[in-house]
Structure 1
Amino acid sequence: MRSNGQIKFLKFSAKLQKRIFFSVSALIIAWLLITLFMAANQYSVSLERMALTQKEAKVQSAEERVSDYKDSIDDVAKDISKRQDMLDALSRQYMQDMPEAEKSAAPANANQNELSKKVGAIIPEAAALAEIEQRQINYAIRLTKLAQLRAARAEKEIKKFGLNPQAFMDDNKAQGGPFIAFFGQKETAIKDPRFAKLEIALARMSAMEDLLSSIPSSMPAVAAEMSSGFGFRSDPFNGRGAMHSGLDFRGAHGTPILAAADGVVSFAGGQSGYGNTVEITHANGLMTRYAHLSAINVKVGQKLLTGTQVGKMGSTGRSTGTHLHFEVRVNGQAINPRKFLEAGNNVLKVKGSNSAGNSASKGTK
């Protein structure tokens, strides 16, 4: 080491060098062992999860079904009764949309029907329960088909708006509440994978139909004339090129302004440039804004249905005359509302039928 014209030397003995070498080597080996252990442990957990998934997805054999019934016929009876109540509720909600031919058509499941007969032959007192359980399984298969059809129909209509339905599927939604098993408490009640498939199909159907209902496709003002489009325009005050992030609708002062879709009021008050403004948050990152209002008829936190009056047309804020400024935003980014309003006329029937089914669903929870 050179310092102020002087050179100093640091000497490491061979013994010290060996200690340093072995210490560093030991640390590296320890780190590698820990990493290897963690990787092995993670692999083991993955194998266990795969094995559990395969086990849950396995359809019960005749021996397993017999074993379940032998354990406690009373428990099985109570569980099947509970599951029947839930299936009856689902029937009231959704079976009205199923074609008559689909309702009466029995699925090709002869092997499973034979399985129930075997259970009844081995345990005569459980024969009636085994038959009921098989009828429930057959019904679940038909109801799964219906849910898949409704989800596909809603997904098709969503795509007409230029939206990707899968992009709005949020796996990390803020949810909670106590666990209440939909198909009963006993393990045997949910062991058959066809009930798990039904749960998945109903969840997807509900998500697609909720998203469709939340798309702002209803006109925000009746008998209003569009006076300015989305995108580039000449600013009405200074004449310079400007970005217009919504649509302007011209009409009479006090014209009712209506919610374009179901949602919750997230803002109601004055905003710079917008004047009196109402913002409605819809599902999956969708938001609509209604600006330049002469009056506001809603408050923050209020839940609204499509067509609910949110205010009256005016000319507050940066405005040259009475009109409504209407915006649609997805995750904060403004998009052209025109395609939503134009496509909306073709999907009102779908949204109407879905709303009826969802209303029934909410009424039974």
Structure 2
Amino acid sequence: MSGWKNRIAGWFIDREFFMRANGQVRFLKLSAQLQRRVVGTVACVVGLWLVVTLGMAINQVSVTAQRMALSQQEAKVESAEERVANYRGSIDEVAKDLERRQKMLESLSDQYLGDVPEAKAQTPATAKPTDEDQTVKTISAVVPEAAGLARVEVRQIQFAEKMTKVALTRTSKAEAAIRQFGLNPDVLARQARSAQGGVFEPFFGSAKKDVRDPRFLKLAASLSRMDAMERALAAIPTSMPAAVMMMSSGFGFRSDPFTGGGAMHAGLDFKGPVGTPILSAAEGRVTFAGFHGGYGKTVEITHANGLLTRYAHLSGVHVTQGQMVHRGLQIGRMGSTGRSTGSHLHFEVRLNGRAINPRKFLEANPDVLKVQTVAGNRAGNAAKEL
């Protein structure tokens, strides 16, 4: 041990350096103590980094393991024996549960997927999965009077799986479209969930004989995610706020039109005649309508998930605070009120209070807009039903 100590001590000795610059010689001395301190600090930083990295890796593995365990638990379906026991216990209770679940499926289909033809198509009876077909045979043999109910349950499960696939497909399309706008779908989903609540009331009650299946929980989660993504997509302001194509000032750094100094421009300016109709770029609620300092007459519309659009320098305002507006509704007229050099519209998009470039929304490609239109139609129909 002493040999190692002596060897390590030999690494840290007083070192002297001579440097010549401009004809002058300078002397620099690094003491052994300073070298040990520097090496010790670096070792501590590296050690701390390794500990943090290892902790993150362990946490990631733990989270992954928990997710896998949860997925396996959710994927666990009642065996044929357990379902036979349910039917044998009380056919009347099973019938009531199946009836209630049928109404739930029809309600979910109408609310979320009513305008999607493939979601309405029924699966042929000959396309039953092998395990479900065997379950029906087992129940029919043990409890003959429950054969019809068993077939109803299988059709419900098939329909639930079909709806889940449709929901996952539409969610994937909506998420891809949201990413095209430079937004994070997961962030929008968390913002949507942050405004939920209510008293917990079990859908299937607490009786032991209730008919349950984890595939229906997966269906509910899939539809909830799809709904959040499509509503978020529909709320993105992609419609032109005025029927003019000339942009007189872009987003970002520019020379101030009054002082000539460098300034930040938080939106886009569209030049046009006084009185040109100004249109809402997306559905939302008017949260400001009036005079707003240098912005002049202004309308602000708050959309879903932290998005806000601002329409400034108007000559007239056609909406009132608190009013709900749909995409394309005239909300005002172009003008030159406030700090303005001429008739134009100042158009801003803000996300959680931070100004972002509106061009990526207004210049979206047709495929993305098509997905947004489908999402908007579904969200609009759901809102009307409510």
Is TM (by shorter chain) over 0.5? yes
Residue 86 of structure 2 is matched in structure 1 by 68
Give the conservation status (yes or no) of the 8 Å contact 1:232–1:243: yes
Q: Which of the residues 180, 186, 206 maps onto 2:227?
A: 206
Residue 222 of structure 1 is matched in structure 2 by 243
Q: Does 1:293 align with 2:311?
A: no
Q: Distance in 2 between matches of 1:178 and 1:100?
A: 31
Q: Which of the residues 279, 303, 308 maps onto 2:329?
A: 308
Q: Does 1:97 align with 2:116?
A: yes
Report the residue type matching 2:338 in the other structure. G
Q: Distance in 1 between matches of 2:70 and 2:186?
A: 28
| TM-score in terms of structure 1 length | 0.79
Say which SS state the counterpart of residue 248 (structure 1) adopts: strand
The CA RMSD measured in Å over matched residues stands at 2.9
Give the conservation status (yes or no) of the 8 Å contact 2:316–2:333: yes
Residue 63 of structure 1 and its aligned partner are, at CA, apart by 2.4
Q: Does 1:267 align with 2:288?
A: yes
Give the conservation status (yes or no) of the 8 Å contact 2:123–2:158: no
Q: Alignment identity in percent?
A: 55
Q: Distance in 1 between matches of 2:208 and 2:169?
A: 29
Deviation string for 1:119-172 (max 9, x for gaps)? 122111111111101110011111100000000011111111122211222165
Residue 88 of structure 1 and its aligned partner are, at CA, apart by 2.3
Aligned residues: 319
Q: Distance in 2 between matches of 1:77 and 1:228?
A: 67
Residue 196 of structure 1 and its aligned partner are, at CA, apart by 0.6
Residue 364 of structure 1 and its aligned partner are, at CA, apart by 4.6
Say if 1:291 and 1:96 are closer, same or farther in 2 by CA, change over 3 A: closer
Residue 109 of structure 1 and its aligned partner are, at CA, apart by 2.3
Residue 36 of structure 1 is matched in structure 2 by none
Report the residue type matching 1:63 in the other structure. E
Say which SS state the counterpart of residue 121 (structure 1) adopts: helix
Deviation string for 1:71-110 (max 9, x for gaps)? 3322221221122123223344526435499864786721
> What residue ranges of structure 1 are gaps of 5+ in the alignment?
1-49
Residue 38 of structure 1 is matched in structure 2 by none
Deviation string for 1:163-219 (max 9, x for gaps)? 221122216522234556667886765621110110111011111101110111110
- 1:44-83 aligned at under 5 Å gives the runs 57-83=75-101
Report the residue type matching 1:204 in the other structure. R
Q: Distance in 1 between matches of 2:329 and 2:299?
A: 12
| TM-score in terms of structure 2 length | 0.75
Residue 86 of structure 1 is matched in structure 2 by 104
Say if 1:345 and 1:316 are closer, same or farther in 2 by CA, change over 3 A: farther
Residue 240 of structure 1 is matched in structure 2 by 261
